[in-house]
Structure 1
Amino acid sequence: MNRRNSSDFLICGNCQRVLRKDKKMLIPQPSRGPSAFIPQKEVNFGQANDVNKLTNRLAEEYSTSGRLDNITQVMSFHPQYLESFLRTQFYMLRVDGPLPYHYRHYIAIMAAARHQCVYLINMHVEEFLSTGGSAEWLSGLEYIPQKLKNLNEINKLLAHRPWLITKEHIQKLVRTGENNWSLAELVHAVVLLAHYHALASFVFGSGINPETDPDSLNGIQAAVRNKFCVCDLANDNNIENTSQTSNDAEQNGDYESELEALMERMKKLQEEREDEEASQEEMATRFEKEKKESLLVVSGAFDEEVISMSNVSRYIEDPGFGYKDFARRGEEHLPTFRAHDYSWEDHGFSLVNRLYSDIGHLLDDKFRMVYNLTYNTLSTHEDVDTTMLRRALFNYVHCMFGIRYDDYDYGEVNQLLERTLKVYIKTVTCYPERATKRMYDSYWRQFKHSEKVHVNLLLMEARMQAELLYALRAITQHLT
């Protein structure tokens, strides 16, 4: 275990109880919780059925990484998913594989930098150095080996416009020469890139707090702290001290009516689905309509100048390159990615597992876990089948990335996901660095924090799978 000062990490109350088993360990009293969006007292073991299992898993994570980080604490709302996530991340970073260990952490830095995610950059700068990485590489991309520099293009495309990745990008990386990538190395790199792009979405969407004071870490300026680490904390994120307004009762009535309306729409959609099934032509039309309507979902304003102020830019090539809507107005129509022709289950899983042994099983378990995760509750309602809602969230993310499922009625998206939720989804998925607590608070106002964390897990995994589908399809095309 790495040596650390006890003040270097923050641990929530439940995690303190886990670690008090080790009498030699000094547990500091945290000054704040792991999230700027969720009151510290509410970050707990959520709906765990087997607390001992989670306890052991958290203790194991502490012993391998040196700390229980804030991401782990927030994910502990959903212990089953957390276990799958930690197992997969451990395999990518710490188990023998195609890439050297210091390369893995530098690739994580490059991926996180695309979204200016200082939280993840700081974490992996430390890991990079501890695995033998050269401190000179941390001065910027011009100091790293050409082989790593060659990943810049696919990193940029995967993060922002994965539909532009072609077999030519793959061929350029694997062509013969001293700086070429083997297919196994490339798949390992692609999995890491997609994982950390998506994890940046979770960090910003959940308001993950810095582990320590950013002023003291790796030269990242304090000027970016509120923008990138605690997600607009300066504006309206002081959860513990939020004043109660005189019309709380009236607002709660509004929230209840919103919840009841959602429940009614779910019931109506289920009845309509049982009565009559839409034709394939109608399903295609509804997908195109939803794809075009996503153009109208506009994210919040963003201060572009903050990027140039931050030392994060040293890890970025072409910082102006960002997400553009798949279905842009006035441009040549890009072909829809039909999951029927190339799906994770039938194509991506077997390819990634063949080239990077066992990662396919771990990723598949993680995707299935979050997609099927349910406690059969919806806010204050029990015995609710939430399958329809989970599928709408997952498929809406894929819709924004131009991926269509032939067997899904995209009319359900508009019925189930209200506008404030769509704004939040698009922001967290496509421009996570713009996420604020105001956005987090504005949707599903009657719902529990654990349910909103579940939403963020679904968005993260849907985004990761979308990136992987485009990259793996390009690798398949290269091989054939």
Structure 2
Amino acid sequence: MGQIVRNTQLYIDSVNQFYPCQERALNHVNQLMAYHPLYQEPFVQTQEFVMQGDGPLPYDQRHYIALLAAARHQCTYLAEVETQEFLSCGGEKAWLQGLDFAPKKIRDLDEINQLLAHRPWMISKEHILKLTTGNDSWSLAEVVHAITILAHFHALSSFVFGCGISQQSTQSLRLNSSRESLKSGGSSPVQSTTPAGSPSHNGSPIAGGEVENLMRKMRTISESKSSQDITCEELARRFESEATESASISTIHSSSGGFLGRENDLTRFVNDPAFTYQDFTKRGEAAEVPTFRIQDYSWDDHGYSLLNRLYNDVGKLLDKKFKVAYDMTYYTMGGKTNVDTSMFRRAVWNYIHCLFGIRHDDYDYREVNELLDGNLKQYIKSVCCYPERVSKQHYESVMREFKYSEKVHVTLMILEARMQAELLYALRALMRHTT
């Protein structure tokens, strides 16, 4: 976690690269990501490649698919950007009247969009077969391109809501010279004004014991590992226990009124808006579908190569983005320096995968309960599964002793772990379809 000194030129360049005809419409997103230039660079490269680079889908369709993904989470901030990009690429204005006005080929994506966004474990090879056969069918390359866009914008919606970025604020934010003060000597490349008000906004953690307690727990876990010999069966049981407990965690309830009552009603792009996330397993009930064991189908061993084969080199770009979000550290936590944060980062990442039924066989899920408190778990679950319910106030209420940049880093991990989970389920279905 933490901060390092970086030249702000990367931030300025990336703002200009993002949707150039939109005049820096995604300034808010870029400004927050500029806290972490090491991550921002592969993010921008991936976004540019998927939306503007070589690929099987026409540009207008790419932006319309991104609009459909944003609509699933009622993210008017991204929807407005993608609407303008769609029109600037020569998209048919009639399509903007709603999904029913788009061609059948585009309408056929709705089910995959819905499942990816809310219950990706339900995606099967039959869904891929349905898209790739019959009239107006998709090629496998087109399916992979579309799924990549959908997963990307679902996850980006989580980041937008999770950081409290205003949906109505598409005006440019000014870059100011205020810096985040760190004992390690680092400083923030930008100071965001949109999600201001956090107790840790200026880099001075509030008094208390949150970070101290977390560091103590990490030391205790580390010391006890050398003397533990946990069986595979026990590790599996601990995962099931964590999954069951996660199902009992209530998520944030929004007063926004759901799809209705918003300035830009996106229901016209969504069939069955009542279809939302459902806990993978519920307390006292067995999971209805088998657990996704990461060792049986992993990103490194399976998803990466399949994606690269079907869609140029996008796997390489995504792989770098995943790794940077997971591995990035400045060895700080709140006001503490020289901290090994790997245990905390792994707990966050694996908890997100747990929410989607993905189990890492070699991980002790009791660490999740030890290192993530109830408020943080509720925040992570809400941002992953119900991002439209999250507001700036919710963002400010968690990790109150952490630096602002560290909270952004956690939200970036939510973005990437969620996207990886969606892709793993979709790519596994694609693999089964082709074998």
Counterparts of 2:160 and 2:6 in 1: how far apart (Å)?
Answer: 26
Question: Residue 168 of structure 1 aligns with which residue?
Answer: 126
The CA distance in 2 between the partners of 1:306 and 1:56, in whole Å, is: 36
1:442 maps to amino acid: S
Cα distance, 1:272 vs. partner? Answer: 1.0
- TM-score when scaled to structure 2? 0.88
Alignment match, 1:191: 148
* CA shift for structure 1 position 155: 0.3
Taking the aligned partners of 1:213 and 1:349, their CA distance within structure 2 comes to 34
Quickly say closer, same or farther: Cα 1:261–1:212, change in 2 above 3 A: closer
C-alpha deviation, 1:50, in angstroms: 4.4
- Name the amino acid aligned to 1:165: I
1:265 aligns with one of 217, 221, 227:
217
CA distance in 1, matches of 2:427, 2:67: 22
Partner of 2:78: 120
CA distances 1:32-60 after superposition (whole Å, capped 9, x unpaired) = xxxxxxxxxxxxx9523444555554555
Q: How does 1:419-434 map to 2 (within 5 A)?
A: 419-434=374-389
Match of 1:446 in 2: 401
Identify the match of residue 226 of structure 2 among 274, 288, 307: 274
1:327 aligns with 2:286: no
Q: Check whether the contact 2:3–2:330 (CA below 8 A) recurs between aligned residues.
A: no
Contact residue 69 and residue 211 of structure 1 kept, 8 A: no
CA drift of 1:190 comes to 0.2
Equivalent residue number for residue 385 of structure 1: 340
Identity, % of aligned pairs?
Answer: 49
Closer, same or farther: CA 340–315 of 1 in aligned 2, 3 Å: same
Distance in 1 separating the partners of 2:3 and 2:220: 30
Match of 2:66 among 88, 95, 108: 108
Does the alignment pair 1:318 with 2:275?
A: no
Work out the CA distance in 1 between the residues paired with 2:332 and 2:316: 29
Gapped regions of structure 1 (runs ≥ 5): 1-44, 215-236, 243-248
> In the aligned structure 1, how far is the partner of 2:214 from the partner of 2:87?
49
**CA distance in structure 2 between the aligned counterparts of 1:54 and 1:307, rounded to whole angstroms:** 33
Q: CA–CA distance in 1 between the matches of 2:304 and 2:68?
A: 25
C-alpha separation in 2, matches of 1:146 and 1:48: 50
Q: Residue in 1 aligned with 2:164?
A: 207
CA distance, structure 2, for counterparts of residue 240 and residue 268 of structure 1: 34
Structure 1 residue 445 displacement after superposition:
1.0
Equivalent residue of 1:171, what SS?
A: helix
Larger radius of gyration: 1
Deviation at residue 308 of structure 1 after TM alignment: 2.8
Which residue number corresponds to residue 31 of structure 2? 73
Aligned to 1:300: 252
**Cα deviations across residues 447-474 of structure 1 (Å, max 9, x unaligned)?**
1110000000000100000000000000
Aligned partner letter, 1:259: V
Change (3 A) 1:270 1:64: farther
The whole-number CA distance in structure 1 between the counterparts of 2:369 and 2:244 is: 12
**Cα shift readout 1:41-80 (whole Å, capped 9, x = no counterpart):** xxxx952344455555455548575326210111100011
**Judging changes above 3 Å, is the alpha-carbon distance between structure 1 residues 238 and 452 closer, same or farther for their aligned structure 2 residues?**
closer
1:14-413 to structure 2, matched below 5 A, reads: 47-61=4-18, 66-67=23-24, 69-177=27-135, 179-210=136-167, 212=169, 239=196, 252-253=206-207, 255=208, 257-303=209-255, 305-310=257-262, 311-329=265-283, 330=285, 333-413=288-368
3-state SS in 2 of match to 1:307? coil
User: For the residues of structure 2 that align with 1:276 and 1:191, how far apart are their CA atoms?
Assistant: 40
Contact 1:420 1:439 in 2 (8 A): no
Task: Give yes or no for contact 1:376–1:384 (8 Å, CA) kept in 2.
Answer: yes
- Distance in 2 of aligned mates of 1:117 and 1:274: 46
RCO greater where, 1 or 2, for CA within 8 Å and sep 6 or more? 2
Q: Distance in 2 between matches of 1:52 and 1:115?
A: 32
Is the CA contact 1:46–1:76 (under 8 Å) kept in the aligned structure 2?
no
User: Cα distance, 1:273 vs. partner?
Assistant: 1.4
Amino acid aligned to 2:79:
I
CA distance change for structure 1 residues 213 and 69 in 2, over 3 Å: closer, same or farther? Answer: closer
1:102 Cα offset (Å): 0.3
Task: Describe the superposition over 1:305-358 as per-residue Cα deviations: whole angstroms up to 9, x where unpaired.
Answer: 441334211110110000000003546632000011000000000001000001
Distance (whole Å) between structure 2 residues aligned to residue 241 and residue 204 of structure 1: 15
Q: Distance in 1 between matches of 2:378 and 2:353?
A: 15
Contact 2:115/2:123 (<8 A) preserved? yes
Aligned residue-pair number: 404
CA shift in 2, pair 1:459/1:321, >3 Å: same
The 3-state SS of whatever aligns with 1:267 is helix
Q: Is the 8 A contact 2:60 2:89 kept in 1?
A: yes
- Structure 2 CA distance for aligned equivalents of residues 212 and 425 of structure 1: 24
Instruction: Look up the equivalent residue of 1:326 and give its one-letter code.
Output: F
Q: CA RMSD in A?
A: 2.3
Structure-2 separation of matches of 1:381 and 1:167: 48
SS of 2:274 mapped into structure 1: coil
How far has the Cα of 1:92 moved from its partner? 0.4
CA contact (8 A) 2:19 2:85 kept: no
- DSSP 3-state at the match of 1:275: coil
Report if the CA contact (8 A) 2:128-2:433 is conserved. Answer: yes
**Given that residues 77 and 170 in structure 2 are in contact (C-alpha distance below 8 angstroms), is that contact kept between their aligned partners in structure 1?**
no
The verdict on how the C-alpha distance between 1:375 and 1:64 changes in structure 2, with shifts beyond 3 A counting, is farther
By how many angstroms is 1:394 displaced? Answer: 0.5
Q: Which residue of 2 aligns with 1:7?
A: none
**In proportion to residue count, which structure has more helix?**
1
